[in-house]
Amino acid sequence: MRLASTLAALLATAATLGTALPAQAAAPALQIVKISYDSPGADRRSNSSLNAEYIILLNTTGKAVALEGWSVRDKTGYTYEFGADVLLGAKKRITLRTGQGSDGSGSVYWNRKQYVWNNDQDTAYVLNRSGKLVDSCSYKARSTSASVTC
């Protein structure tokens, strides 16, 4: 209740002075939602274990985004680049899985035979087709979770 009254007072003051409160930064067009960095069980590089390691991205815009040339990379520099056939609908999510598989139904595959995301800590970066950083998410492992919500 105290926060609500403070906010109301700030809004009233801003209106009286004819000034606006600072706008919040706009969400990036492609935002990291979640990273699953430690797949269940022993890390034996089976394809099912590799595919249990993934990153989920969200199109925050009201329009479809053609992801050709966009990329995701980790702190080490392992890089996945989206192909020409990936169109992410407005407000839709896509999952990038580390292992091998067939792209479609909301998932694309890095087609790696080794893990990307470190189990202790790492940073994920999303870059647009111009190579400009659009979003990033860092994590440090927690004993209670093998994933992080960004």
The pLDDT score that the predictor gives to residue 7 is 38
Look up residue 3 and give its two tokens. 């926060």
* Distance of alpha carbon 121 from alpha carbon 143, whole angstroms: 12
Residue burial 35-51, b: 16+ Cβ < 10 Å; e: rest? bbbbbeeeeeeebebbb
Please, are residues 108 and 102 in contact by the beta-carbon 8 Å criterion?
Answer: no
Asked if pLDDT for residue 13 goes beyond 60, the answer is no
pLDDT digits (tens, 9 = 90+) for 35-61: 999 988 778 889 999 999 999 999 999
Measured in whole angstroms, the distance separating CA 137 from the mean position of its chain's CA atoms is: 7
- Greater confidence (80 vs 17) lies with 80
Domains in the chain, CATH or no CATH each? 27-149 (2.60.40.1260)
- Greater confidence (41 vs 20) lies with 41
Distances (CA, A) of 138 to 3, 49, 52, 114, 126: 30, 22, 19, 20, 12
The pLDDT score that the predictor gives to residue 40 is 85
Of the listed ranges 10-24, 92-106, 119-133, the least confidently predicted one is: 10-24
The pLDDT score that the predictor gives to residue 134 is 97
> What's the pTM?
0.81
pLDDT digits (tens, 9 = 90+) for 65-121: 999 999 999 999 999 999 999 999 999 999 999 999 999 989 999 999 999 999 999
Confidence of residue 143 (pLDDT cuts 50, 70, 90): low
Q: Helix, strand, coil % (nearest 5) of the chain?
A: 15, 35, 50
